[in-house]
Amino acid sequence: MNKKRIIGIIIFVLLIVVIIGIKTFSDNNGGIGKTTTIYVATGGGKEDFIADEKVNKILKNKYGLTVVYDSWSNGKTITKPLIRESVGLGNQNIINRLSNGEDITINTEGVSKYDALFTSDQRFYDYYKLSPNKEAGESDRYTVLEGGLTLNTPIVIYSWKEVAEKLMNEGIVSQIDGVYYITDMNKLMEYILNGKTWSDIGLTDLYGNINIASTDPISSSPGATYYGLLLSILGNGQITDEGLEENLAKLKQFYQKSGYMNNTPADLFERYLKTGMGGEPMIVDYEKSLIDFANSNPNGFKQVKEDIVVLYPKPTIWNSHCYAAFSENGKKLYKALQDEEIGQIAWEKYGFRTGITGGTYDVSSIDIAIPNTITSTVTSLKMDYYNQLISYLEK
Question: So what's the pLDDT on residue 8?
Answer: 60
Instruction: Grade residue 7 by pLDDT with cuts at 50, 70 and 90.
Output: low
In whole angstroms, what is the distance from residue 312 CA to residue 158 CA? 9
Q: Please tell me the number of Cα atoms within 13 Å of 333 on its side-chain side.
A: 29
Give Cα separations from 167 to 172, 190, 233, 308 (angstroms): 5, 13, 19, 15
Q: Please tell me the number of Cα atoms within 13 Å of 77 on its side-chain side.
A: 28
Q: Does the structure show a pLDDT above 70 at 1?
A: no
Q: In this predicted model, which residue has the larger pLDDT, 376 or 147?
A: 147
Among 185-189, 199-203, 240-244, 361-365, the range scoring the smallest mean pLDDT is: 361-365
Q: In this predicted model, which residue has the larger pLDDT, 30 or 370?
A: 370
pLDDT in tens, 242-272: 889 999 999 999 999 887 787 788 889 999 9
Average pLDDT across the chain, whole number: 89
pLDDT in tens, 282-319: 999 999 999 999 988 999 999 998 999 999 999 999 99
Instruction: Grade residue 14 by pLDDT with cuts at 50, 70 and 90.
Output: low
Superfamily of domain 153-317+369-394: Periplasmic binding protein-like II (3.40.190.10)
Backbone angles phi, psi at 262, to 5 degrees: -75, 155
Q: Does the structure show a pLDDT above 80 at 9?
A: no
pLDDT in tens, 151-176: 999 999 999 999 999 999 999 999 99
pTM for the model: 0.85
Instruction: Grade residue 3 by pLDDT with cuts at 50, 70 and 90.
Output: low
Instruction: Grade residue 106 by pLDDT with cuts at 50, 70 and 90.
Output: very high
- Residue ranges of domains in the chain: 153-317+369-394
| Secondary structure E strands in the chain | 36-42, 65-71, 116-118, 146-160, 173-176, 179-182, 283-286, 308-313, 316-325, 353-354, 377-378
In whole angstroms, what is the distance from residue 73 CA to residue 291 CA? 24
In whole angstroms, what is the distance from residue 366 CA to residue 287 CA? 12
User: Residue range 91-95: average pLDDT?
Assistant: 97
User: Residue range 349-363: average pLDDT?
Assistant: 69
Question: So what's the pLDDT on residue 382?
Answer: 85
pLDDT in tens, 317-338: 999 999 999 999 999 999 999 9
**Per-residue 3-state assignment (H helix, E strand, C coil) for 263-330:** CCHHHHHHHHHHHHHHHCCCEEEEHHHHHHHHHHCHHHHHHHCCCEEEEEECCEEEEEEEEEECCHHH
User: What percentage of the chain reaches a pLDDT higher than 90?
Assistant: 70
User: Residue range 232-239: average pLDDT?
Assistant: 84
Q: Does the structure show a pLDDT above 70 at 359?
A: no
Instruction: Grade residue 19 by pLDDT with cuts at 50, 70 and 90.
Output: low
Q: Does the structure show a pLDDT above 60 at 24?
A: no
